[in-house]
Structures are given as structure tokens and as C-alpha cells.
Amino acid sequence: MSSFISLLYKNKFLNESLCFLLSIFLILFSSEVFGKSISKADRKILSAAISGNQRLAQKALEQGASIHAKDPRQFFLGETPLHKAVFNNDVSFVRFLLSKGADPNLSDDRGESPLITAVYGLSLESALALLDAKADPYLETKSGISPAVLAADLCSLPILKLLKNAGVDFNRPTKKGFLPIYTAAVARCNREFIEFLVNSGSTIEAPTASGVTPLMHAIRCKNLDAIRFFMEKNVSVSSVDKHGRDALYHLLGFQQELGTITSDTYSRHLTSKDIKAITIYLIEQGTPLDREYKDGRTALFYC
């Protein structure tokens, strides 16, 4: 899912000097850039948010600009001044907009809330300002990504801690069934990250809607840190996914299903020593070697 989530967002990290020059251009030629679909005052406040010019923003508001003006350009998908200030991690400007009535829960056309923007940019200060302004930490994008799931995809422990302090329940799945612990296993987050999730209440053995457990996710994506942590916690290996496959199949048989898949998520390899240790653990925990999968084969076929 890590690669999937990454595709949901535009490339936000442009060269800083280019961004500065672009900001100046927008202020000077905002009419041409933003077009005629919004008012001059709205164009001005959007330009001000890009450049971080609070004085210009105040002037725009006095001229009738909407604090929720939306960027009409196709690439920016309805971003508001708050989105732009958060993207720049301009905390002073973020607080200025919030003090003027900016809605911290107003999403852009992708369903991306300002908090999602802050998490994606690892902007701790902006995220904290938004949460203090009652930003909803459960708002999802149209693709079903929540702030906590995105933080797990980015393996950002500081963001995750911030969300925990805001009272976020890490066992609350998104509408598409995503949970931070699944995402962390797939994204190959380290032991410290996984352990923090579990200590914060994440259910270590909870399966997804398709029956895949965090251990299965970790095995499929070769997340050795997560695998070892789950093994130390003596997680159950009795679960099977909706296709009747257990963790041992995900270790030994899943690679044969990949075919031409070349995603970096699946192309990593475990050493033979690691595979042996995991196999022994799964067998000792009670995985039956004679369990038939849907293809009629057993784990012994893949050994």
C-alpha cells in the first residue's frame, strides 16, 4: 500500500528557490495565472498564502476575499489558502488564517484536508496548530487515507505521537479498511514505530477485511523488524486470509504468485537464515504442514 498511497499525491517537494520565484510571479500576474473564474480579491489571498505575505492577505480580506477561496487551476485541485500555508509549514500564516475563520476541516477536491497536507509534508507545527483548532483527525481523502494511515505510510513517529496525543484511535479503520499497523508493516517501518503502535493500543493480530493479518503483511513485504517483533510477541498464526492462505504460505508460496510484479515493495529478499527462523517459528506455533491451499498444494510443496 505504500506505493499506492504515494501515487495519490502530487510531488510536493519542489526546489525552494523555484517556489520563491513562482510566488513572486503569482503575485505580479495572478490574474493571468488564476484566470477569471475567481475574484481579484480571491486571487490575491491565494497568492498571499503561497508567498506567506500576511499583509497582502489582510488587504485581500478587506477587499472581500473569501477565507475559503479555492485555487481553480487543475493541478492544485481546489486548494484553499490554508492548504497552501500548511504545505509551506508557515505556522504563523496558518494561525493567521485560522484566526480569520478558516475551516480546518475544509477539504480540497481530492478530499485532502489541511491536516492530511500537514502530515504528508511532515509539518509538525502546522499539524499541531490545526489539531488545536479542532481539525478532525479522522477525515479521509476520497481514496480512503486518514492522517494516521498516512503517518504510518511515511513511518513518521513524531506525527504519530502527535495524533496519539490528540486522542486518535489507531484501531479505527478507514472506510476502505486501512489501519496504521497494516500500513506500517507494508511500508517497512522499523521496530520502534511498530512497537509504539502496539503500545498505543493497535491490535496486533487484527485481520483486514480480506483476512490478512499484520504478520502476513510484514512477511509479504519482507519487513524483518516487524516480523521479529510479532514473533517476540507470540502472535497467533492460526488465521487464514479469504483465499485460505496462512502466514507460512505468505512466506514460502507468495513469491510464485508475483509473476512480473517488480514493485520495490515486493522485490526485497529475506536471507535463507531469516526464512528458516520464521518457518520454524510458524511451525512451532502450530501452523499445519498438511493444510491444503486453494490450489490443492500444501506448505511442503513450497519448501
pLDDT in tens, 93-144: 999 999 999 999 999 999 999 999 999 999 999 999 999 999 999 999 999 9
pLDDT score, position 254: 63
* Chain center to CA of 117: 10
Residue bearing cell 497582502: 56
- DSSP3 helix / strand / coil % (the chain, rounded to 5): 50, 0, 50
User: Binning pLDDT at 50, 70 and 90, where does residue 14 land?
Assistant: very low
Model's pTM, two decimal places? 0.82
145-156 core/surface letters (b: 16 or more CB in 10 A; e: else): bbbbbbbbbbbb
CB 180 within 8 A of CB 208: no
CB 172 within 8 A of CB 138: yes
Residue 49 exposure: Cα atoms within 13 Å on the Cβ side: 30
Q: What proportion of the chain, given as a percentage, has pLDDT over 70?
A: 82
Joined grid coordinates for residue 25: 510571479
pLDDT score, position 75: 79
Q: All domains of the chain, ordered by start, with CATH? A: 20-136 (1.25.40.20)
> Is 296 or 66 the better-scoring residue by pLDDT?
66
User: Binning pLDDT at 50, 70 and 90, where does residue 47 land?
Assistant: very high
Mean pLDDT of 283-300: 80
Phi, psi torsion values for 293, nearest 5 degrees? -85, 180
pLDDT score, position 129: 98
C-alpha closest to that of 129 among 167, 79, 93, 78: 93
Residue 277 Cα distances to 171, 229, 250, angstroms = 30, 13, 15
pLDDT score, position 6: 54
Q: pLDDT tens for residues 182-227?
A: 999 999 999 999 999 999 999 998 888 889 999 999 999 999 999 9
Q: pLDDT tens for residues 222-231?
A: 999 999 999 9
CB 47 within 8 A of CB 23: yes
User: Binning pLDDT at 50, 70 and 90, where does residue 36 land?
Assistant: low
Joined grid coordinates for residue 242: 479469504
pLDDT score, position 261: 39
Give the chain's end-to-end CA distance (angstroms, integer): 28
Residue 212 Cα distances to 61, 157, 205, 229, angstroms = 51, 24, 9, 17
pLDDT score of 277 more than 80: yes
User: Binning pLDDT at 50, 70 and 90, where does residue 4 land?
Assistant: very low
Report DSSP state, residue 125. Answer: H
User: Binning pLDDT at 50, 70 and 90, where does residue 263 land?
Assistant: very low
Q: 291 in the Ramachandran plot: left (φ > 0), alpha (ψ -120 to 50) or beta?
A: beta
C-alpha closest to that of 129 among 65, 81, 82: 82
Residue 252 exposure: Cα atoms within 13 Å on the Cβ side: 21
